[in-house]
Amino acid sequence: MSNIELLILTIIVVLLVARLKSVLGKPPHPPKMPKTIRVISDKDGKILQMQLLDALAEEGKKKSLSLEEKMKPRLTSLYQMIVKSFASGDLEELKKKVSPKVFGLFSNAIQKREEKKQKMEFSLISEPKAKILTPLSEKTTSITVEFITEQVNILKNKKGKVIEGDSLKIAEIQDIWTFVKKGSNWILQETKGKELHA
């Protein structure tokens, strides 16, 4: 191999190495966020607006919604069991479903009724309407829920006479309850309530 051929070969190798460095040395492009298109149309199908959205953000919203759909019936069922147990004076059942603080308040009220030989009668007229007030994620350990219910509540003395409430009166009640996670279960931590309409 002549000197000229060797020089040409050396130049080619240098150029190839420089080219490889320029290609391999570039930082990778950040991945593009996937996009999705939301189409808003009227009742006749005419497109009114098109929105370009982050698919991952939409996925997060769907996940949060699915968590709410999962938790709402569970907490509504727990709400119904607690109010029924309180009305019937079932302390054993209440102890499993409420915090020690709430249990103390409930048990004191039940004890006072029993001492006076009073009986509470409670009826849910309609299915509770539940609204979760807390943003949800897989790590959520405390959930506040608003329950709107139609109830009939009466209190009778030992002779069976109604001393509080009216069996013909349907009251709309708002309860705002906070539940906390204990292991794999949820228990009632705090309660607030008021009558909206009668």
CATH number at residue 191: 3.10.450.240
In a domain, 46, yes or no: no
In a domain, 9, yes or no: no
DSSP codes, 58-89: HHHHHHHHHHHHHHHHHHHHHHHHHHHHHHHT
pLDDT of residue 36: 57
60 has pLDDT over 90 = no
Say which range, 55-59, 115-119, 135-139, 160-164, has the weakest mean pLDDT: 55-59
181 has pLDDT over 70 = yes
Quote the domain boundaries for residue 178: 64-197
3 has pLDDT over 90 = no
Task: Specify the pTM.
Answer: 0.65
Among 152, 81, 83, 88, CA closest to 118: 88
Structure-derived torsion over alpha carbons of residues 193, 195, 196, 198, reported in degrees to the nearest 10: 160
Q: How many domains does the chain have?
A: 1
> What's the mean per-residue pLDDT of the chain?
81
Place of tokens 């191999």: 1
Lookup: tokens for 99: 């915090």
In a domain, 40, yes or no: no
In a domain, 30, yes or no: no
Binned at pLDDT 50, 70 and 90, residue 49 comes out as: low
Q: Which residue has the higher pLDDT, 17 or 92?
A: 92
pLDDT of residue 54: 56
In a domain, 140, yes or no: yes
pLDDT of residue 105: 95
In a domain, 18, yes or no: no
Q: Average the pLDDT over 128-142 and give the result.
A: 92
